[in-house]
């Protein structure tokens, strides 16, 4: 009797290759994603300016629920003009909300500029840029608050805010 020996090594190589291709190219798993920096998603309609008669303090908030979002938006804009038009899944994302204090004249802006990750201290530094109109700008007196909201994917890091103030001259 002559038995043929079947070599299974090429079969195992093909199956292994198929599994690797699936996980690398077709799967949404983050198995091979070693750099897990939070992704920033700008929300439609922000940054924005809300007009107010009240004297408000600047806000830096980490928003983890619909209730906290409503509280933040009601604080900076009682008129209801500012709304989030997108669905937020608070199981996967958190919002970072910032606002300026009440400004007497128009032209002030605020924007969450960049996130810096410090893995050694397990912190995420949120860089907030506040822009004021310069002396060459036309002054329009109208009390307002500048507001910005962004979504980031859920993180277990401690979140801190830094402010960068900038004066922008008009032409």
DSSP-assigned letters across all residues of the chain: --PPPP--HHHHHHHHHHHHHIIIII----TT----PPPEEEPTT-SEEEE-SS----EEEEE-SHHHHHHHHHHH-TTS-----S---TTTEEEEEEEPPPEEES--EEEEEEEEEETTTTEEEEEEEEEEE-TTSPP-EEEEEEEEEEEEE---SEEEEEEEEEEE---
**Percent of residues, the chain, with pLDDT higher than 70:** 89
Q: How would residue 1 be classed by pLDDT, with cut points 50, 70 and 90?
A: low
Check pLDDT > 80 for residue 166: yes
Highest mean pLDDT (candidates 8-17, 27-36, 38-47, 106-115)? 106-115
Q: How would residue 96 be classed by pLDDT, with cut points 50, 70 and 90?
A: very high
Check pLDDT > 70 for residue 32: no
Lowest mean pLDDT among 3-7, 26-30, 97-101, 105-109: 26-30
pLDDT for residue 63:
94
Q: Which two tokens stand for residue 19?
A: 């599994």
- Report the sign of the C-alpha dihedral through residues 12, 14, 15, 20, in that order: positive
Check pLDDT > 70 for residue 88: yes
Cα–Cα distance between 64 and 62 in angstroms, integer?
A: 6
Strand partners of residue 116: 125
- Report the sign of the C-alpha dihedral through residues 8, 26, 114, 54, in that order: negative
Burial 102-111 (b: 16+ CB within 10 A, else e): bbeebbbbbb
Lowest mean pLDDT among 1-5, 136-140, 157-161: 1-5
Question: Can you tell me the mean pLDDT for 81-98?
Answer: 90
Check pLDDT > 70 for residue 26: no
**169: which residues sit within 8 A by CB, 6+ positions away?**
134, 135, 136, 137
Q: What is the pTM of this model?
A: 0.74
pLDDT for residue 160:
93
Q: How would residue 3 be classed by pLDDT, with cut points 50, 70 and 90?
A: low
Cα–Cα distance between 143 and 78 in angstroms, integer?
A: 14
- Across the chain, mean pLDDT equals 86
């Amino acid at each position: 009797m002559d038995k043929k020996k079947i070599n299974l090594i090429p079969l195992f190589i093909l199956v292994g290759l198929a599994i690797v291709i699936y996980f690398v190219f077709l799967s949404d798993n983050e198995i091979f994603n070693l750099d897990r920096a939070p992704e920033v998603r700008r929300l439609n309609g922000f940054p924005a300016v809300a007009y107010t008669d009240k004297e408000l303090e600047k806000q830096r908030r980490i928003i983890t629920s619909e209730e906290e979002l409503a509280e933040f938006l009601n604080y900076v804009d009682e008129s209801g003009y500012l709304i989030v038009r997108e669905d937020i899944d608070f199981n996967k994302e958190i919002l970072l909300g910032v606002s300026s204090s009440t400004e007497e004249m128009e032209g002030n802006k605020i924007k969450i500029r960049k996130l810096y990750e410090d893995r050694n201290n397990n912190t995420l530094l949120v860089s907030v840029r506040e822009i004021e109109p310069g002396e060459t700008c036309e002054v329009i007196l109208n009390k307002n608050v500048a507001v910005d909201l962004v979504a980031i994917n859920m993180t277990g890091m401690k979140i801190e805010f830094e402010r960068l103030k900038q004066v922008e001259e008009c032409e």
